[in-house]
Chains A and B, each alone.
Chain A
Amino acid sequence: MISESLALGKRSLTKWTRNPFAVIVTSLQALFWLALFGNSFNPANAFPSTAAGSLGPLQQAFGGAATYITFLTPGVISIVALTGMSFMGVDLVFDRINGYLDVLRVFPIPRTSIYFGGVIQNVAKGMVAAPITFVIALLVPNGLKLAQGFGVLNLLGIFATIALLTIVFSTFFTGIAISVKSTDSFFAAVNFLTFPIMFTSTAFFPLSFFPGWLKPIAQVNPVSLASDGMRLLVVNGNLSAAQTSSFIGDLAGLLVFGAMLALLGTMMARNALKAR
């Protein structure tokens, strides 16, 4: 099944690389989040007397981040993964509409490889978008300030987090894409699901800002797990033992989500692709 999934994933990636527009738009999305949202919603704006970009008295509440964009960047990387993964499954919806899915269904391959092919290409695209977001965050004025001690291990930790988060959302949204019958249904489902996931996460603001009833949801939201995990690496550089175990906890949470949603997606794909 792996070689068939890789072949199908490669098909989509080949098309993606031939369409620079899609690559550029994905990258620009991060720029807009950081430069526009990061500046207009910057809590530091409430404290004009403090140094440029500094969070002033709110620094502690924001996990010790030197600037809001330093706090925001892991959140934006996670949000770009969420929105990117949610829409990239549309290829499968078009495959169903134009009959290509039926062509794939008569190949002697496990039908779930069609689903995993979609997951693989989405994860690959997400892994390309993440470093671009990271570089943009470094280039934005008063942007990402990496902590002293930030090194290769921190970078690898960030990539591991992104890989897991893209798997979480790709397995979920690819399952939806393979199950719906029209683009209308797909986009309605995506819009319905992404906004609640986004706004019940700690991507933009710390957990302490959330009302009590929302905190339990925000805590287990995969976007929060990824954002908080990456924040530990960006803000602290060298992690303490407690911070390391917190980071590992975030990764474990993402792993559990990824496994559960891959199982759910596989079941959805089996059901959607079986002969009726």
Chain B
Amino acid sequence: MSKIIDVKGLSKTFPPSARVVDGVSFAVEEGEIFSLLGPNGAGKTTTIRMLTTLTSITGGEASVGGRNVIKEPSAVRELIGVVPQEVTLDNELRGDENLLLAAKLHHVPPSLAHKRVEELLRLVELGESGNNRVSTYSGGMKRRLQLVAALIHSPRVLFLDEPTVGLDIQTRTRIWEYIKQLNREHGLAILMTTHYLEEADQLSDIVAIMDHGAIKVSGSPADLKENLHGDVLTLRVDDGGEDLTAFLKSVPDVTEVTRTEDSYRLKLPKVESALPAIITSIASRKLLITETSFSKPTLDQVFLEVTGRSMRDAQEGNGNGRTDRNAAAHKSETR
């Protein structure tokens, strides 16, 4: 696979000195879903705005589809589809008119445009509503229309900025399905931002955790969680009152054991590979395991590990999602 997005040392400073993105580097491969995960105000949207030529780049360099974002912004815009965080459709136009306008502005030949509009409306189950004005659409319908408006010209890269923010769980799940389908069937590379842990976990091939304008760690969701060495196995053992803590600690791979009233909580890198040895050890002492359960670490734990605070704390700490410096950034961006 080759790199469709290549970012090196990308920085953004808004005057007078708000450094919103601080030297981030990452690469997105062809056909990959890459998520920037972080609390509001982490610099995710500014990163996307720089890569989509909406915000100027203060430092570093970036290329999309082999085109330099700073030197060839027009060429980059030919290759990308962008779905912004807010719904930005023309409410007074019909659904199909919004798509046809997007087709025209992407220089899709008129003969192809109508066919493409029909296909895309069907894809997101808006075939029946295409002739209605967007002002009559529900929030979820608008979001679906906005998603396909960015696909009208068959882009090579799709940028999604918080694609499901504010949506109910059912609509969110459907949007996830469309995103997966686009990626699977069309090999579309997707760079998305999200502050939903589950969204990043479910959709992404690679997740980069971003905080205070910097990427703290990146990798596949499974690797990130596995690297925490933090699976938790809970065992209820008929131990006849004997404390097995020291014994369980001696089992290979077990890094931590906590005894509760009626069970033991074991921390270990990967429960699947360690479980047989644990069961064998306990059985060798002629003890009976009466109940087992285990849990995998979450991306929130990964976030906690690399930033020292949980995502929820980070969100609350940013007060409505914006730090002071990002409030300055937002002000500058909306100028």
State the A residues within 8 Å of B (CB): 3-4, 7-8, 11, 14-15, 18-19, 98-100, 102-109, 181, 274-276
CB contacts (< 8 Å) of A107 on chain B: these are: 77, 102, 105-106
- CB-CB contacts below 8 Å: B90-109 with A: 90, 92-93, 97, 101-102, 104-107
We find that the number of chain B residues with CB closer than 8 angstroms to chain A is 29
CB contacts (< 8 Å) of B102 on chain A: these are: 107
Q: With an 8 A cutoff between CB atoms, is B332 at the interface?
A: yes
Q: With an 8 A cutoff between CB atoms, is B288 at the interface?
A: no
State which of B54, B82, B105, B333 has its C-beta within 8 Å of the C-beta of A109.
Answer: B105
CB contacts (< 8 Å) of A18 on chain B: these are: 92
- Chain B interface helix/strand/loop/mixed: loop
CA distance A106 to B78 in the complex (A): 9
Q: A103 touching B88 by the CB < 8 A rule?
A: yes
CB contacts (< 8 Å) of A99 on chain B: these are: 84, 86, 88
CB contacts (< 8 Å) of A19 on chain B: these are: 92
State the B residues within 8 Å of A (CB): 52-56, 73-74, 77-78, 80, 82, 84, 86, 88-90, 92-93, 97, 101-102, 104-107, 332-335
Q: A106 touching B335 by the CB < 8 A rule?
A: no
CB contacts (< 8 Å) of A8 on chain B: these are: 101, 105
What is the chain B residue whose CB lies nearest that of A16? B92
What is the chain B residue whose CB lies nearest that of A3? B104
What is the chain B residue whose CB lies nearest that of A98? B88
CA distance A228 to B284 in the complex (A): 109
What is the chain B residue whose CB lies nearest that of A97? B334
Q: B105 touching A15 by the CB < 8 A rule?
A: no
Q: A108 touching B88 by the CB < 8 A rule?
A: no
CA distance A18 to B133 in the complex (A): 11
Q: A102 touching B54 by the CB < 8 A rule?
A: yes
Q: A103 touching B84 by the CB < 8 A rule?
A: yes
Q: Which of B73, B78, B332 has the most CB of A within 10 A?
A: B73
CA distance A46 to B145 in the complex (A): 64
Q: A11 touching B78 by the CB < 8 A rule?
A: no
CA distance A109 to B333 in the complex (A): 20
CA distance A100 to B87 in the complex (A): 9
CA distance A28 to B92 in the complex (A): 24
CA distance A60 to B229 in the complex (A): 98
CB contacts (< 8 Å) of B73 on chain A: these are: 275
18 new A-B contacts, CB < 8 A, other than A8-B101, A276-B335, are A7-B105, A8-B105, A14-B97, A15-B90, A19-B92, A98-B88, A99-B84, A99-B86, A100-B90, A102-B88, A103-B84, A105-B53, A106-B54, A106-B80, A107-B105, A108-B78, A181-B334, A276-B55
CB contacts (< 8 Å) of B332 on chain A: these are: 276
